[in-house]
């Protein structure tokens, strides 16, 4: 009798524990594992600020780097025009592989990857400001 009661308790306990098990979590889709989250607004703003600082030091002696104003060197297009004529991906590639220009006065520049990222972040702000100006 004791053995029968013990067996009944063990079977009941086993069934109770088995019902508590949960299914393993579903794996994330393959694409989600490879996608990076977008930069937060604060990080994007910091990157754009660094990009503008790079442009001030390396580019502003010839190019207009802000949303308004002329370039100091007439043959150097304002950055606000450059970001409208070329995709940001093209500009990123150009900075990484070496800028090719139509005027010989453009000095050669070599940018680090982090500087390219910051410049592109700044160019994104120029593009967004222009888009906002067209809507407003």
Residue ranges of domains in the chain, CATH in brackets = 41-135 (1.10.760.10)
Give the per-residue pLDDT at 132: 86
Burial of 50 (0-12, 13-18, 19+ CB in 10 A): middle
d(CA 132, CA 74): 26
pLDDT of residue 20: 46
Residue 44, class by beta-carbon neighbours within 10 Å (0-12 exposed, 13-18 middle, 19+ buried)?
middle
Range among 13-27, 77-91, 94-108, 122-136 rated most confident: 77-91
**What mean pLDDT is reported for the chain?**
79
Who wins on pLDDT, 122 or 3? 122
Q: Which of 62, 77, 112, 107 is nearest to 92 (CA)?
A: 112
Highest mean pLDDT (candidates 30-34, 109-113, 119-123): 119-123
What is the mean predicted confidence (pLDDT) over 67-76? 94
Report the number of secondary-structure helices (H) and strands (E) in the chain.
Answer: 6, 0
- Distances in Å between the alpha carbon of 124 and those of 2, 56, 88, 95? 78, 16, 8, 15
Check residue 136 and report its DSSP letter.
-
Tell whether the model's pLDDT for residue 8 goes beyond 60: no
Q: Is the pTM of this model over 0.85?
A: no
**Residue from 69, 93, 36, 70 nearest 119 by CA:** 93
- CA atoms lying within 13 Å on the CB side of residue 116: 17
Find tokens 């030091």 and name the residue: 57
Predicted local distance difference test score (pLDDT) of residue 46: 96
């Amino acid at each position: 009798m004791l053995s029968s009661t013990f067996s009944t308790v063990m079977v009941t306990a086993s069934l109770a524990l088995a019902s508590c098990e949960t299914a393993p979590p579903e794996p994330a889709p393959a694409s989600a594992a490879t996608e990076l989250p977008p930069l937060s607004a604060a990080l994007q703003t910091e990157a754009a600020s660094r990009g503008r600082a790079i442009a001030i030091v390396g580019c502003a002696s010839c190019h207009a780097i802000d949303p308004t104003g002329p370039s100091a060197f007439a043959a150097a297009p304002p950055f606000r025009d450059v970001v409208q004529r070329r995709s940001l991906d093209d500009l990123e590639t150009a900075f990484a592989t070496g800028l090719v220009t139509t005027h010989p006065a453009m000095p050669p520049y070599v940018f680090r990857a982090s500087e390219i990222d910051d410049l592109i972040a700044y160019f994104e702000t120029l593009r967004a400001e222009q888009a906002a100006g067209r809507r407003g």
